[in-house]
Structure 1
Amino acid sequence: MWEHPMNKMGGKWIVQIKNSQRETVLNQAWLHSVLGCIGAAFEDDDEICGLVISLRKAADKISLWTRNGNDAEKCKRIGRQFKEMLGIPAKLQYQLHQDALQQDSSFTNKSKYEIS
């Protein structure tokens, strides 16, 4: 999916949540994320490509995919709005899909942007 023309130049905002908080924090954060996406709550909602939840052994993740990872202003604005929507004090990291394509993985990619 990273190589799809709509996603190729984009990336994703990632928030990690301890899996011990799955029943409380993760469920609420996911609900707010979904409602924000379908309710067009983002100022740059045309930049949003999708939303993914990943349940992992160590920590769960919610990822918000965007179209253009090189537009720093829009990316950071989306990241700030996403963090506010999540309602949790976790750090968000933005990774480019291009980096994931080159590494054939998104696990070890460095962050292009961060929101604390």
Structure 2
Amino acid sequence: MKIQATIIGVISAIASLGVISPSHASIQTRNAFCMYFVNGSVTPQAAMPCTVSSDVEVFDAEIVWKDGVRQSFKNYDGVPFTYRDDRGGKVYKKLGLYDPSERFETVSDRAYQMENGTIYIWWRR
């Protein structure tokens, strides 16, 4: 009986560790082309290759521009498609948007709308 209680206690302790400290499935990184438009502008302030990484389980995202600029977006209170940037500003993930200059025929694969502008992302195929 004591052995059974001990085994149940050990199993419960191991199970609770898994709940407290879950391991993340993976971080996916993709090569892309990114363009940043300041609000109201039809000309991009930046346009260059980038890499986009996102954590599959917690949905945090990071963009690293070819020039080394890094932007991190952390999921905001578990609300889907809502983030906070490094300064605490709200960021919204959008899917399938055209760029504001209307010069591109393809819909962007993803966009992150920030307080001062939007980053449009096209996956490198």
TM over 0.5: no
Q: Which has the higher contact order (CA 8 A, sep 6+)?
A: 1
TM-score range with shorter-chain normalisation? under 0.3
Higher percent of residues as strand: 2
The structure whose Rg is larger is: 2
Q: TM-score when scaled to structure 2?
A: 0.24
